[in-house]
Amino acid sequence: MKESKNLYTYYFQITDIWKRFCEEHSDLLDKTFQEYSLLLESDLDALEPLLQEKAKIVQRISFLEKARQRSIVEINAFLKERKLKTIDSVSELIQVMKEFEEHNGEKHLFRFNQLLIDIIEKIQEQNKKNQLFLNRSINNLREIREDALGVKNYNTYNKKGLSSSVNR
């Protein structure tokens, strides 16, 4: 029973980390949506503090990642001591913890992991939209500058795919 109790403790530790991952990534998603809104409004004064808040969230996520890595090391030491297969991926972690999820009749770790994947995909999608908006804005500003100066830049590409600008 002592083995199960230790692994059971690890289950709650890992589940707590995943819950906190979900909370931090959810906050990051909210800030990413706010960033897009501020970009649309051209509110650069509000954008800088928001980017600083996003950086703090990323730092907290990094801290959680280190905690996750330490926990996996501890769990692997526990499993290795008992001559059991160690964990190399999240899916293997979920598989090891599956017996506790089935015992409890809940799938907290599994559900937190699914939620985390969903949130991360949404962050990536929104970041692409933000980057696309920024790229369009930069191109528009470049065109305005070129029209004002009467200079036109053309990009050409060599056989290695590297670009070079030509002024005309």
pLDDT digits (tens, 9 = 90+) for 99-134: 778 877 888 999 999 999 999 999 999 999 999 998
Residue 155 tokens read as: 């990009």
Count CB atoms within 10 A of the CB of residue 128.
10
Q: What is the mean pLDDT of residues 135-142?
A: 84
Full-model pTM: 0.80
Give which of 117, 84, 64, 67 is closest to 4, Cα–Cα.
Answer: 84
- Structural domains in the chain, sorted by start: 2-167 (1.20.58.300)
Answer whether 5's CB lies under 8 Å from 100's CB: no
Q: How confident is the model at residue 1 (pLDDT cuts 50, 70, 90)?
A: very low
Distance CA 91, CA 12 (A): 17
Answer whether 117's CB lies under 8 Å from 123's CB: no
User: For 17-50, what is each residue's pLDDT tens digit?
Assistant: 999 999 999 999 999 999 999 999 989 899 999 9
Residue 99 tokens read as: 């017996």
Q: Which amino acid is at 1?
A: M
Q: What is the pLDDT of residue 24?
A: 98
pLDDT-above-90 percentage for the chain: 64
Distance CA 129, CA 145 (A): 24
